[in-house]
Chains A and B, each alone.
Chain A
Amino acid sequence: MYISILGRELRLILTDRAALLTIIVMPIVLMAILGLSLQGMFTESVWTTAIPIGVVQEYQPDPDRQQPNPEKIFFGEFLENEQVKKMVSYTVISAAEADRLLASEEIAAYVVLPQNYVAGTQNNISLNNQPNEPVNIKIIADPERNYSALVVEELIKVFNASMQDMTVKTAILERSFPANLNWSAKATDIARFYQDNQQEISIENIEFDGKKQISSFQYYSAAIMSMFLFFSAGVTATRLLDERRGYTWQRQIVAGIRPATIILANCTTAIMVSLIQMLIVVIFSSLAFGVAWGSLTQAAVVGLCAALSIGGLGAMLAVLTAVTGNYKVITALESVIVQIFALLGGSYLPVELLPPLVQRLSNFTLNGLAIQAFTKTMQGYNLSQITPYLSGLIIFAVLFLVIAYGIFVGKRRQIV
C-alpha cells in the first residue's frame, strides 16, 4: 500500500500547477535573476563596468613639480594602472560637483586629496631629513552603493598603505645616514636603485590548489535550488492536512491503512519531489546557463543527502500540521523560516559577504550545508572534503525524523 500511496502523492503533486510553480518555476526564475544581476560578485567580470568615482583636488596642481611628484604617483601610476582602471574610472571635479554627482548616483564615491597632499606627501617620501607631515585622504561614499564604495575604499587604503610604507622606509633611511650627507646625490642614487629593482605585480584569477572559481550562475543555481527544497517539504506536508480536511485520510484509516504508512509515504514523497526538483534545476541550469556542477556522481550524492534531510523535514512538518490541524506551520515555514534560512544559509548572498556570526550560523542551516556541498563540488573538492556538509545534512534528516516520530507517538490520538 505504501507504493500505491507514494505513486498517488507523486501524481497529485506533479500535476498540481501551483505546486510546480513553487518548486520548479520559481527557483529557475530567481536563479536567473540573481545570477544575471549579481554576476560581478564572483568573477573579474565585475570590472567590465568600472565604478565611476570623482577626485577632488583641494591642493594647487603642479605638473612640473620635481620628483617624486605625488600627483603623478596618484594619477599616473595608481589610477591609470591597467588593473585599477578595470575597477574604477575617475573624473577630477570640484567638491560641489562631486556632491551633486554623488547625490544623483552618477558616481559611487569621491576621493578628496587635501591641500597638503602634494607638498606633504613629497616631503614624507623624499630623503630630505625633514619631519613627516600628516596627509589625510578622505573618501565620501554613496551609502546606497555599499559594495562599490567598499571597493573604492579598499583601493585607496592600498594606495595609502603603499605611501605609508614609502614614508617609513624613507624615515629609516634618513636616520641611518650621517648628518653631513649630500642628500640630493643620495636620493638620486636610491631612486635609481628602486627603479632597477622594481618588481612588476599583476593580478589575475588563477585556480588555487586545483579549485576553480565559480560563476554567479553556478552559485545561485546551487543557492536558490537549496532554498526551494524547503518548499518541497512544505508542499508534501500540506498534503497530509489536505487529506484530513478532505476526509480521504479518514477513509484510508477506515480501510485499514496504518497512519504510520501514510506518513512514511508522505516523507518519501518529499524525498522524491526534492530529487525531481533538483534534477530539473540541474539540467535546466546546465543547458540554459552553462552551469557546470562538477562531478555529477558527487553532485548526485549531495542531492541525495539534501533530499533525505528534506524528507525528514517534510515528515516533521506533516506530523506537526496534522497535530495542530491547520496550515499555520506551513505558512510560517514558507513566509518566515525559509527567508531567515535563505539569508543565514547564503541563498541570497554568499555567506563570505555576511558577518562572521552569520557565517557560523550558516553551518546550522539545511540550505547552507547543501550550498556548501554543491558549490565545493563545482569547485572540484572531492567527496571526503565535503563530508562534514553531507554529515550535517544526514544529521538534520535523522533529527527531523526523531522529532516527527516523537510527536507522532505522543499525539497519536490527535493525528488518527
Chain B
Amino acid sequence: MIFISILLVDNVKKSYGSFQAVKGVSLELHGGESIGLLGPNGAGKSTTVSMITTLTQPDSGTIYYKGTDTASNNKIIRGELGFVPQDIALYNNLSGLDNLKFFGKAYGLRGEKLSKAITEISNIIGIEERLKDLVKNYSGGMKRRINIGCALLHNPRLLILDEPTVGIDPQSRNHILETVKKLNESGISVIYISHYMEEVQALCQRIYIMDHGNVIASGTHDQLIAVSHTHRMVSFAVDSNEDEMSKLLTAKKVQQNGREFVISADNTAGILTELNTLAEQAGCQILSYSVAEPTLESVFLNLTGRTLRD
C-alpha cells in the first residue's frame, strides 16, 4: 500500500456510553499541508483530534501516520507531534520559562539544545520579555502563546492546534494566526480546529466541515463554496411579531436573534417579495434586508440548518 498522505484517518468511530461522538470520520493530511476542522461545539472535532494524538483509542477505524497504524505504535506520531490543547495546558504557578523548560524536557531536550529551543520559540511567539513571570500573571493572549510555544520546542513535523484563539484579544489572535501561517510555510503540517470560519479560511488549504460526529463536507474553500454557490445568506429584520414570523419561516433554515433573522436561500430573485408576503401574514413589516455572497458560514448553514457558533 502506497501512502501519499502524512496522516490518514480512515473511518474512525468513537462512543462514550450510548453517545456516539464520532460516527465514522475519514480525512487525510499531506506533508506540509494545512487542513482545518470546522464545526460547532459538539461536532466531534476534539474527539477526532484526541484519537489522532493517541490520547483516545478509536472504537473502530484506523489512523495511519506515515503509513504506520498509530494504535499499534503510538511513538511514531508522538515523537513528531506538537499538540496545542483547547484549554491552557500550563502550570499557572510556574513561570513561562519553567513551563517551556519542563515540556522541552518532556520531549527529550536537555542542556544547550533546550536553551536554544526556548530562545528560538520565545522569539517566535513573541514573549521573551515576560518569560520569567508566572503564567498566572499573563494575559489570556500571552497564555495562549506559551501554550503554543510548549508544543513547538521539539521542532514537530505535525502541529495540531485545537481552538487556539478562544477568548483572546484581536492583537494576540492575529499574532497566533501569523505564527501558525509561518510555521506551515516552513514545512510543518498543520491541523487547525476552530469554529471561527475566517481563521480556517485564512490558514487552511483544505477544510473538513464536521457536524454531529460526521464530516459533512470537505475540500478547498472554493470547492466548498461551489457546492452551494446558489445559496445566499439573507439577513432581515422585522418591526414586531417576530414569533409569528419565525413560525411562518420554519420551512426555511432560520437563525433568529430577537427581531433579526438569517436564512439560507437558493433563489434570491423573488425572496424579498416572498418575505414581504410572510410579514404581512405575521402582522409585521420588514425594516431592513440584505443578501451576502456565499461563505463557509452560509455553506454550513445550508448543510446543517445552524450557524457555526451555535
State the A residues within 8 Å of B (CB).
1, 4, 8, 11-12, 15-16, 246-248, 250-257, 413, 416
Contact = CB atoms under 8 A, between A and B. Distances in A.
Q: Which of B83, B86, B88, B102 has the largest count of A CB atoms less than 10 A from its CB?
A: B102
A3 to B, nearest CB: 9
Given A254-B78, A255-B78, A416-B55, A246 B89 contact: yes
A54 to B, nearest CB: 61
B207 interface: no
Contacts of B85: 247, 250-251
A1 B105 contact: yes
A371 to B, nearest CB: 33
B268 interface: no
Contact of A255 (B87, B91, B94, B106): B106
A248 B105 contact: no
B89 A255 contact: no
Nearest to B90: A248
A29 B107 CA distance: 44
B102 A4 contact: yes
Given A4-B102, A4-B105, A251-B85, A12 B75 contact: no
Nearest to A253: B55
Interface of A is mostly: helix
A12 B103 contact: no
B150 interface: yes
A248 B90 CA distance: 6
7 contacts: A4-B102, A15-B93, A246-B89, A251-B151, A255-B106, A256-B75, A413-B57
B57 A11 contact: no
Contacts, number: 62
Contacts of A251: 83, 85, 89, 103, 106, 150-151
Nearest to A4: B105
B273 to A, nearest CB: 53
Describe B's contact surface by its main secondary structure: loop
A248 B55 contact: no
Nearest to A256: B78
A16 B94 CA distance: 11
Contacts of B103: 251, 255
A369 to B, nearest CB: 34
Contacts of A413: 57
Nearest to A8: B102
Given A4-B102, A253-B55, 5 more contacts: A12-B93, A16-B93, A246-B89, A248-B91, A256-B107
Range, interface on chain B: 20 to 34
Contact of A250 (B75, B89, B91, B94): B89
A246 B87 contact: yes
Contacts of B51: none
Nearest to B55: A250
Contacts of B75: 256
A246 B53 CA distance: 17
A12 B99 CA distance: 12
* Residue of B75, B89, B108 most packed against chain A (CB within 10 A): B89
A186 B37 CA distance: 115
Nearest to B79: A256
A254 B75 CA distance: 9
Nearest to A12: B93
A255 B105 CA distance: 9
B299 interface: no
Contacts of B53: 250, 254
B101 to A, nearest CB: 8
B106 A252 contact: yes
Contacts of B55: 250, 253-254, 416
B81 interface: yes
B54 interface: yes
A15 B53 CA distance: 32
Nearest to B82: A254
Interface in B49-63: 53-55, 57
Contacts of B150: 251
B150 to A, nearest CB: 7
4 smallest A-B Cβ distances: which pairs? A247-B89, A255-B106, A247-B85, A251-B89
Nearest to A3: B105
Contacts of B54: 254
Contacts of A248: 89-91
Interface string B161-201: 00000000000000000000000000000000000000000
B89 to A, nearest CB: 4
A247 B87 contact: yes
Nearest to B154: A255
B107 A8 contact: no
A11 B135 CA distance: 14
Nearest to A17: B93
A8 B150 CA distance: 16
B91 A8 contact: yes
A246 B88 CA distance: 7
Nearest to B151: A251
A247 B55 CA distance: 11
Contacts of B93: 11-12, 15-16
Contacts of A254: 53-55, 78, 81, 83
A255 B106 CA distance: 6
Nearest to B78: A256
